[in-house]
């Protein structure tokens, strides 16, 4: 049962036009891991803030306080790190039905180390750090949901590090396109090269070699 304070939040939310926004996709995402009551579902939806972002618009810049975690309702986003020489290294992509943030800085409320930018016009649902904490207190099962989200992200990054140490660049590229075919359709070859830690020119060579093998 929600506290009286949170029931007041819910009452205010359901009486605004913002609450009428479509939440089916994110609720299906949550339902993969936890089951919510109608009241819990409505409360969760009431804490989300919808934002439309245009292509090349940032939702987070390096040095800004990382105040929220974002769910991609539609579109594609990219998180990247820029070194002192201005070189970009793509850390992750986020397509429809994925979550994205600078996790370390979000959890610890630190200035962001990453930039997060929209690759195409996108729509996101954001959960602020304050609402994140409130949600986990009022609906404890969300602790499990976000633990699973963060756990899966950690596993994905660990496997990526191991692949970088054990596979050739060509093998890493083939693994990427097999694992994330939907991402390949949305991002540029330059961005894929940045994610794989190789130059765009070298990626072009890999793709050319692959085409030759298919033809032969």
Report residue 32 CA to chain centroid gap.
17
Q: Once rounded to an integer, what is the mean pLDDT over residues 171-197?
A: 91
Q: Distance (Å, rounded) from C-alpha 24 to C-alpha 45? A: 10
Residue 45 lies in a domain: yes
Q: Once rounded to an integer, what is the mean pLDDT over residues 104-120?
A: 95
Residue 35 lies in a domain: yes
**pLDDT of the residue at 76:** 96
Query: Is the model's pLDDT at 141 over the cut of 90?
Result: yes
Tell me the CA end-to-end span of the chain in Å, nearest whole number: 65
| Segment 205-213 long-range contacts (CB within 8 Å, at least 24 positions apart) | 206/169, 206/170, 206/173, 207/173, 209/170, 210/174
How many separate domains does the chain show?
1
Over the chain, what is the mean pLDDT? 88
119: which DSSP letter? S
Q: Quick one: 185 exposed, middle or buried, by C-beta within 10 A (0-12, 13-18, 19+)?
A: exposed
- Give 9's pLDDT tier (boundaries 50, 70, 90): low
Q: Which structure tokens are listed for 194?
A: 């940045």
**pLDDT of the residue at 23:** 87
- Give 2's pLDDT tier (boundaries 50, 70, 90): low
Residue 160 lies in a domain: yes
Q: Once rounded to an integer, what is the mean pLDDT over residues 96-101?
A: 96
Those residues whose C-beta lies under 8 Å from the C-beta of residue 24, and which sit 6 or more positions away, are none
Can you give the CATH number for the domain in which 46 is found?
A: 2.60.120.10
Encode pLDDT of 31-80 as tens digits: 999 999 999 999 999 999 999 999 999 999 999 999 999 999 999 999 99
**Which domain, by its residues, includes 36?**
4-166
Query: Is the model's pLDDT at 211 over the cut of 70?
Result: no
**pLDDT of the residue at 15:** 47
Those residues whose C-beta lies under 8 Å from the C-beta of residue 141, and which sit 6 or more positions away, are 34, 35, 36, 40
**pLDDT of the residue at 185:** 86
Residue 47 lies in a domain: yes
Q: Distance (Å, rounded) from C-alpha 82 to C-alpha 112? A: 12
- What is the pTM (predicted TM-score) of this model? 0.86
Residue 194 lies in a domain: no
Beta strands in the chain (DSSP E): 49-53, 58-60, 68-74, 76-82, 88-95, 99-100, 115-118, 122-128
Residue 24 lies in a domain: yes
Residue 197 lies in a domain: no
Contact 112, 66 (CB under 8 A): yes
């Amino acid at each position: 049962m929600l506290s009286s304070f949170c029931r007041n939040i819910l009452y205010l939310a359901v009486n605004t036009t913002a609450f009428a926004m479509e939440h089916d996709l994110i609720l299906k995402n949550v339902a993969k891991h936890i089951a919510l009551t109608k009241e819990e579902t409505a409360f969760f939806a009431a804490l989300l803030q919808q934002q439309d972002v245009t292509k090349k618009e940032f939702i987070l810049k390096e040095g800004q306080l990382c105040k929220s975690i974002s769910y991609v309702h539609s579109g594609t986003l990219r998180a990247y790190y820029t070194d002192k020489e201005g070189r970009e290294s793509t850390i992750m992509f986020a397509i429809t039905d994925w979550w994205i943030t600078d996790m370390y800085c979000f959890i610890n409320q630190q200035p962001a180390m990453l930039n997060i930018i929209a690759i195409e016009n996108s729509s996101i649902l954001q959960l602020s750090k304050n609402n994140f904490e409130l949600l986990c207190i009022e609906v404890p099962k969300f602790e499990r949901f976000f633990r699973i989200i963060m756990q899966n992200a950690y596993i994905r990054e660990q496997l990526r590090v191991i692949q970088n140490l054990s596979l050739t660049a060509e093998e890493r590229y083939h693994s990427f396109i097999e694992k994330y075919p939907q991402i390949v359709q949305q991002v540029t070859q330059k961005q894929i090269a940045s994610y794989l830690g190789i130059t765009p020119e070298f990626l072009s060579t890999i793709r050319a070699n692959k085409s030759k093998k298919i033809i032969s």
